[in-house]
């Protein structure tokens, strides 16, 4: 598949402090990619370099095989064909919805009007063309900002924390809406987020950034189930880690002898996701035994804290109808092969 964006060894420092330390990233045409990471990891800096708002100290940026930043290229933002949706939306308060979307469009009045109408139809707000930004809800403002960014037909769309200003209920709804609009437009898009659930739920691929580098780029399911490093595993979703001794396709640990996703040998840290653990009544099974120490019920499921007899504390994600109480004694089972990391 054709590559739309390629970042090679991007470096950027501020007052001698590295913000990016050799970022490499390849995005295929039509992909929706999340830049996921904790605050200060370099996500927004990467976005600003792609947009052309800042210049890298080292490295290159190529958009559709054209070098736009590097040792021999300094293409300004307005010539990169990059659309940006800012965290605060940055709508012009004195312009109507129509005026906001038309801003920056070239062509005749009729051509601009036709493009605005097409964008309003794309985002499902055809009846709001004459409204002012202050008359719109947060979700409507976001869709207008998206329509304005898409109107000039950019080659790449960049979104900086697009859902952070929305309340929880609207955020979940707008995630699906924005993904649908982007996919319908057929554009390559990159969005910045610190929210793991957000990244996993709508992105085609997730790039996890830490300390100014991309630690892993993978589809959401692969990223969650097979994180490349212990640090990625700990950041993406909830994780239990226990020590073990690997001897090929299996690893021995306090939970027994478990199958490994990838064969390895030596002392390791084993990743066990909370949903990979199952609890059962103590019976004739020789499964490791534990005591329930706490329980949090969420309606659709629940989190349960257990302490194995050797003192190891683990978190279990269980169905809502799992009937256990604090101080219950239970048997503990691991139901999937595990990922491990050399110590």
Condensed to tens digits (0 to 9), the pLDDT of residues 28-66 reads: 999 999 999 999 999 999 999 999 999 999 999 999 999
- Same domain? For 263 and 196 the reply is no
Domain boundary, last residue among 208, 235, 262:
235
Residue 284, domain extent: 240-342
- Same domain? For 321 and 269 the reply is yes
Select the more confidently predicted residue: 139 or 253: 253
- Same domain? For 223 and 297 the reply is no
The per-residue pLDDT for 284 is 67
If one counts the domains in the chain, the total is 2
- Same domain? For 229 and 326 the reply is no
- Same domain? For 75 and 142 the reply is yes
- Side-chain-side CA neighbours of residue 154 (13 Å): 28
pTM of the model: 0.91
- Same domain? For 19 and 53 the reply is yes
- Same domain? For 316 and 191 the reply is no
CATH code for the domain in which residue 188 is found: 3.40.50.300
- Same domain? For 253 and 218 the reply is no
- Same domain? For 71 and 209 the reply is yes
- Same domain? For 160 and 68 the reply is yes
pLDDT tens profile 240-294 = 999 999 999 999 999 999 999 999 999 999 999 999 999 999 886 789 999 999 9
Select the more confidently predicted residue: 103 or 188: 188
């Amino acid at each position: 598949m054709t590559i739309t964006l390629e970042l090679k060894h991007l470096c950027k420092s501020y007052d001698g402090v590295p913000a990016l330390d050799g970022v490499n990233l390849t995005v295929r045409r039509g992909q929706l990619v999340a830049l996921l990471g904790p605050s200060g990891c370099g996500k927004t800096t990467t976005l600003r370099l792609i947009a052309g708002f800042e210049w890298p100290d080292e490295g290159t940026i190529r958009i559709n095989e054209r070098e736009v930043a590097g040792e021999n290229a300094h293409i300004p933002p307005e010539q990169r064909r990059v659309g940006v949706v800012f965290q605060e939306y940055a709508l012009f308060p004195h312009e109507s919805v129509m005026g906001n979307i038309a801003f920056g469009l070239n062509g005749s009045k009729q051509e601009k009007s036709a493009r605005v109408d097409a964008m309003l139809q794309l985002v499902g707000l055809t009846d709001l063309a004459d409204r002012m930004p202050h008359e719109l809800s947060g979700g409507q403002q976001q869709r207008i900002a998206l329509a304005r960014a898409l109107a000039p037909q950019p080659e790449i769309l960049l979104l900086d924390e697009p859902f952070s200003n929305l309340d929880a209920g609207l955020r979940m709804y707008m995630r699906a809406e924005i993904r649908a609009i982007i996919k319908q437009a057929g554009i390559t898009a990159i969005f910045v987020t610190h929210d793991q659930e957000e990244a996993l739920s709508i992105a085609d691929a997730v790039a996890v950034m830490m300390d100014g580098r991309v630690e892993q780029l993978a589809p959401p399911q692969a990223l969650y189930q097979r994180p490349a490093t212990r640090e990625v595993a700990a950041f993406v979703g909830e994780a239990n880690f226990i020590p073990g001794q690997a001897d090929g396709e299996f690893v021995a640990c306090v939970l027994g002898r478990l199958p490994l996703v990838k064969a390895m040998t030596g002392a390791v840290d084993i990743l066990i996701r909370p949903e990979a653990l199952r609890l059962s009544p103590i019976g004739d099974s020789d499964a490791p035994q534990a005591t329930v120490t706490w329980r949090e019920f969420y309606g659709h499921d629940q989190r349960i804290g257990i302490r194995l007899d050797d003192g190891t504390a683990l978190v279990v994600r269980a169905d809502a109808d799992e009937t256990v109480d604090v101080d219950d004694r239970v048997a503990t089972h691991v139901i999937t092969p595990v990922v491990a990391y050399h110590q």
